[in-house]
């Protein structure tokens, strides 16, 4: 802006994040949600620029010799005027380079393979949990005794039980010569039967059309317990300082998780963030929430709602950089306009649309909405079991009557 010197910008090109291409006239064309954000900043600065890539493709940390490598190392050695990527602000990095106003806050979460759908054969049991079924069964067993007393013994226990059960199935009450006491009981029973019946029907339909998913690890405490028990593995992004955070945490389960990751060398590179090689039902991958939203917004991967920590992300600037105030002003204006969020949503939608086209076609989508025999097989099994018991009781009564007649 104030100088016509060429601005050197350190970058780590990555698909969907920051992609750099040349147009026919030799100009740079930036794409990806970070690329579009960087392009808006550079356009507002109005300076000539070129891109440089570090020899070691890292965001920036000290090596064994204490020297900075990656993007932060380039800016620290004045090989670049600024570096743009998902560079987290930390106390140690602040000693090596300057930073702009943070343009986002990155939270660390984890990904795990969804456990899959629950058995559709038992879908008729899903609408209510075990406590509701237990309470309903208790009512059906105990209430016939109270009704029998209120009716003065005019109906058997079995008859009243079937009448109450039928009322839940929206059948009329057929016992005649009711007493005032029994009518009083029915006033309270019928609303309960109606609520149970309609609630069950509505919930069952939703479970049949959208099958329930099994439960997986939900938070970092459960994850740490699973890793300590040896049932799960946890892979951390090696470009981040997550291990340092875990070891410095006052939470014992965080420390245990950090020790397990470091002991087993469970790390993966940002360059392999889309390969999903460490994501299955017994392996977890730590990831920034922005990356999770971008890459796994709608897939068979579960994104935990729990957050390990939140770190500010900014642009690394060379000490004495002439346009720091201008960069900060531009970043604040873009943030207030909501443009960076729009870039992220657009790129995420593009990825999800492409993934969905790969997974299913239009015909498959139509077939998935149809109910199959497998979805309602449990209800048919339940019906078949009822018929079997009915015939068993029927033949038992016949045999009992004949034996009684024979020996009477």
Number of CB atoms found within 10 A of residue 146's CB: 13
Residues of the chain with pLDDT under 50: 1-3, 362-367
Domain boundaries, position 260:
112-117+214-310
Q: What percent of the chain has pLDDT over 90?
A: 32
User: Does some domain include residue 167?
Assistant: yes
Q: What whole-number distance in Å separates Cα of residue 180 and Cα of residue 151?
A: 9
Q: Are 108 and 242 in contact (CB under 8 A)?
A: yes
Establish if 220 belongs to a structural domain.
yes
What is the per-residue pLDDT for 257? 93
CB contact at 8 A, 311 and 105: yes
Q: Which residues contact 249 (CB under 8 A, 6 or more apart)?
A: 255, 258
Q: Print burial letters for 123-136: b (CB count within 10 Å at least 16), e (below 16).
A: bbbbbbeeeeeeeb
CB neighbours (10 Å) of residue 290?
A: 19
If asked whether residues 219 and 272 sit together in one domain, one would say yes
Decide if 391 is inside a domain: no
Q: Are residues 166 and 194 in the same domain?
A: yes
Q: Is there a domain that residue 304 lies in?
A: yes
Nearest Cα residue to 76 out of 59, 100, 98, 53: 98
Residues 298-338 have pLDDT tens digits of 667 889 999 998 989 999 999 989 889 999 999 999 999 99
CATH number at residue 301: 3.40.190.10
Whole-number Å distance between alpha carbons of 282 and 267: 16
Token pair of 155, please?
A: 């109906």
Strand-pair partners of 296: none
Residues 206 and 234 in one domain: no
Confirm whether 399 is domain-assigned: no
**Angle value at C-alpha 301, between 295 and 306, nearest 5 degrees:** 90
109 contact partners, CB below 8 Å, separation of at least 6: 286, 287, 288, 289, 292, 303, 304, 305, 306, 307, 308
218 and 207, same domain (yes or no):
no
Co-location of 207 and 218 in the same domain: no
Vertex 122: Cα angle to 136 and 389 (nearest 5): 70
The answer to whether 93 is a known ligand-binding residue is yes
Question: Do both 243 and 297 map to the same domain?
Answer: yes
Domain assignment of residue 333, yes or no: no
Pair (177, 144) in one structural domain = yes
Do 178 and 220 share a structural domain? no
SS3 189: helix
C-alpha 83: how far from chain center: 32
- Whether residues 190 and 248 share a domain: the answer is no
Whether the CB-CB separation of 97 and 75 falls below 8 Å is answered with yes
- Residue 304 and residue 225 in one domain: yes
Query: Is the domain of 223 the same as that of 194?
Result: no
269 domain residue, yes or no: yes
Residue where one domain finishes, among candidates 187, 211, 235: 211
4 within a domain of the structure (yes/no): no
Q: Which of 154, 181, 211 is the last residue of a domain?
A: 211
Tell me what pLDDT residue 8 has.
94
- Count of domains for the chain: 2
Name the 3-class secondary structure at 307: coil
On whether both 305 and 234 belong to a single domain, the answer is: yes
Residue where a domain terminates, one of 154, 177, 211: 211
């Amino acid at each position: 802006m104030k100088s016509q010197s060429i601005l050197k910008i350190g970058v780590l090109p990555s698909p969907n994040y920051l992609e750099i291409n040349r147009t026919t006239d030799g100009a740079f064309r930036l794409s990806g949600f970070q690329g579009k954000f960087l392009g808006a900043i550079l356009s507002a600065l109005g300076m000539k620029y070129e891109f440089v890539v570090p020899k070691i493709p890292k965001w920036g940390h000290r090596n064994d010799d204490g020297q900075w490598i990656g993007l932060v190392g380039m800016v620290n050695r004045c090989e670049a005027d600024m570096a743009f990527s998902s560079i987290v602000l930390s106390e140690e990095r602040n000693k090596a380079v300057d930073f702009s106003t943070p343009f986002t806050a990155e939270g660390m979460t984890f990904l795990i393979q969804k456990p899959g759908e629950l058995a559709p054969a038992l879908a008729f049991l899903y609408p209510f949990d075990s406590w509701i079924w237990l309470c309903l069964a208790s009512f059906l067993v105990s209430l016939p005794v109270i009704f029998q007393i209120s009716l003065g013994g005019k109906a058997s226990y079995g008859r009243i039980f079937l009448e109450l059960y039928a009322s839940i199935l929206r059948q009329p009450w057929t016992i005649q010569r009711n007493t005032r006491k029994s009518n009083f009981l029915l006033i309270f029973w019928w609303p309960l039967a109606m609520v149970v019946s309609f609630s069950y029907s509505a919930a069952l339909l939703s479970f049949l059309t959208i099958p329930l998913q099994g439960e997986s690890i939900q938070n970092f405490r459960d994850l740490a317990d699973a890793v300590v028990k040896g049932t799960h593995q946890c892979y951390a992004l090696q470009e981040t300082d997550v291990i340092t955070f875990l070891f410095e945490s006052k939470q014992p389960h965080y420390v245990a998780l950090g020790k397990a990751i470091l002991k087993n060398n469970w790390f993966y590179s940002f360059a392999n963030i889309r390969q999903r090689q460490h994501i299955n039902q017994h392996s977890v991958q730590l990831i920034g929430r922005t990356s999770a939203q971008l890459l796994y917004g709608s897939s068979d991967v579960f994104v935990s709602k729990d957050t390990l920590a939140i770190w500010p992300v900014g642009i690394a600037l060379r000490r004495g950089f002439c346009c720091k105030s201008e960069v900060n002003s531009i970043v604040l204006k873009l943030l207030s306009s909501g443009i960076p969020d729009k870039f992220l949503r657009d790129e995420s939608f593009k990825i999800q649309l492409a993934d969905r086209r790969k997974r299913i076609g239009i015909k498959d989508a139509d077939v998935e909405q149809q109910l199959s025999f497998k979805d309602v097989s449990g209800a048919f099994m339940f019906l078949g079991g009822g018929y079997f018991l009915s015939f068993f009781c029927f033949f038992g009564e016949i045999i009992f009557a004949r034996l009684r007649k024979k020996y009477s």
